[in-house]
Chains A and B, each alone.
Chain A
């Protein structure tokens, strides 16, 4: 977005008041203060937008196909693999990556870590959007998506693990909306709303921890329903919920490092000086948190193998794959984080964060699809299923970028607040 710095010193918008003293209208704020021709000029100049258009051009018709002709039109409609990529990636992958909201909320608001404040809003937004799109993925996968509120209001099955997931994700989504609202209120200039939320922030944050602990764990506990179907190394009935919860800690922190890196590099115009200056330091601090969570995770992974007496499995092909997952997805980034902290090298921490994000998605896919039905056969998703998954991810990216470009997420609002 070079268009800003060259000709328009009043942009990007950081205040209600324009250079000439009048107020920005909401519409102008939405167009980033640019005239329509200027906006489109920067839009078509960006190759990422063309990539998005390409993905959506194929993906949106596929989505339509899914809703008109049913799931069997876009997936393999497998009765052996009831859950495919939509849940394996969209729900089980997106939710741990969204743990950033409660992690940073807790650190800043509860533990008083003011040094992490510049990234708090990004972490909250990352959490909110991750959860929101996990629900969107779910709405693609559910047989009757129009019955989403049934477990809440129509027919209740409170003894089921999924019941907990449904309630907690729904409540937590509302909590996260409330946590991100202050940024929106500043942007539209409705300060009363912000003050109301401010008073609730401690309650919201604690609610966030409770709900996160429970449903991150619950996603793991869901797999305890299928102890005979998943390879023993990926399922530990007693420890599954702890594995999922603990790995969500470094997943969320890593995701916020990845996201902030992308924003700093590709949307630097939007960041303010505080954000840019503190980012290296914050990255290392988050990396430290990651490496601590990772060593904890490794230990309880090992404890689970010992507890379930699965050592002999480690010598099989599955065991090699299991150790590869841990080595690449956890041990490698853990040492990279440690080296980054010791040598004060934020770039290394960023690379580590990227690997650990991929590693956590890999782990969730392994649990939900690859090690699932390990004694039967391997399901390889239909290309349309892959493309729809990609399409939703593109929509997630577009929404994410749309908000970061506008609301005071990585910059501080200069006007009244």
Chain B
């Protein structure tokens, strides 16, 4: 009795499968224990110090070799630009912009710098189906244009509206976004160009864990000056760029409704059902089939018996 799939082979195969499954699981648990890169760098932006000089915009433009802007960087009329009812945002020609916010009841406006926040668990990265994004140990979220398909899911997923697309190119389009000056500076331990250019020390470069302490210290030491919140400490699971503000964050253009957990967690519900469907459906529906066609099968069987008689 030598069948191609003997009982012994079946058990062997089953055991091998179980072992493989446990091994694979062990690998996964490494990911579960990962607490983020301890050496990850970040920037603390203090809105109370920013005077809206746009030096950071100019430095970024030069460092990243972006096209020259329509209006020069010392033209402050850009703060009044409104498109679709919105203030200026990042696009394929600028990785960072500063916007002015007039606060009712305050004699001076506040300025807020926008760029990639370099999340600890980036939504762009986790939503990318070709792994075009990488979170480096230094803290930067960088992008590989060589594998990008141009589906723009990262732009959908980014809660801060940061990645932009080079729509104007038919043959060489790509995502354009701030990369923390990774290739030219961060890799060598240097701060990004915008931080270096800031004359007001509104931007503080340092290890993320240190920056949180500095932020807490400033809040503690000057009571009443700051909102008691560091934006980015917990937002979407934490970001490398964080903010201090003297007014509620939604008054200066921050989205205060973003979840306090990584965006990835929100799709885990669905990802969790995938193995279940893959394993249970075949048996379930094959079973339904057998039940549904049982009558026909029985009928066929009795007819056969009659024929034999």
Contacts and interface: CB of A to CB of B under 8 A. Distances in A.
B255 interface: yes
Contacts of B167: 70-72, 75, 77, 143
B251 to A, nearest CB: 15
Interface in A183-228: 202, 205-206, 209-210, 213-214, 217-218, 220-222, 224-228
B151 A162 contact: yes
B297 to A, nearest CB: 10
Contacts of A75: 167
Nearest to B130: A155
B32 interface: no
A296 interface: no
A144 B148 CA distance: 8
A150 B148 CA distance: 8
A6 interface: no
Contacts of B91: 79
A209 B168 CA distance: 40
A155 B127 contact: no
Contacts of A111: 288-289, 292
Contacts of A156: 129-131
Interface string B245-260: 0000000000101110
Nearest to A79: B164
Contacts of B123: 225
B274 interface: yes
Given A79-B164, A161-B270, A209-B285, 7 more contacts: A75-B167, A83-B156, A143-B173, A144-B148, A160-B127, A166-B129, A217-B273
Interface string B181-208: 0000000000000000000000000000
Interface string A146-162: 01101100111101111
Contacts of B293: 112
A159 B126 contact: yes
B282 interface: yes
B126 to A, nearest CB: 6
Nearest to A147: B149
Interface in A220-248: 220-222, 224-229, 237-238, 240-241
Nearest to A225: B157
A67 B207 CA distance: 45
Contact of B271 (A106, A161, A206, A226): A161
A160 B126 contact: yes
Contact of B270 (A68, A155, A206, A217): A217
B255 A202 contact: no
Assign chain B's interface to a size class: 35 or more
A143 B224 CA distance: 49
Contacts, number: 183
B173 A70 contact: yes
Interface of A: 66-73, 75, 77, 79-80, 82-83, 106, 109-112, 141-145, 147-148, 150-151, 154-157, 159-164, 166, 202, 205-206, 209-210, 213-214, 217-218, 220-222, 224-229, 237-238, 240-241, 376-377
A213 B277 contact: yes
Contacts of A141: 151
A136 to B, nearest CB: 15
B32 to A, nearest CB: 13
Given A79-B165, A80-B84, A225-B156, A160 B150 contact: no
Nearest 9 CB-CB pairs, A to B? A143-B150, A77-B167, A221-B270, A82-B152, A72-B167, A82-B155, A155-B147, A225-B157, A70-B170
Nearest to A376: B86
16 contacts: A71-B167, A79-B90, A79-B165, A142-B151, A143-B151, A144-B173, A147-B147, A155-B132, A162-B153, A209-B281, A210-B278, A210-B281, A224-B266, A226-B159, A229-B159, A240-B270
Contacts of B159: 226, 228-229
Nearest to A167: B129
Contacts of B259: 227-228
Given A142-B150, A150-B149, A376-B86, A70 B127 contact: no
B34 to A, nearest CB: 13
B229 interface: no
A228 B293 CA distance: 48
Contacts of A70: 167-170, 173
A142 B149 CA distance: 7
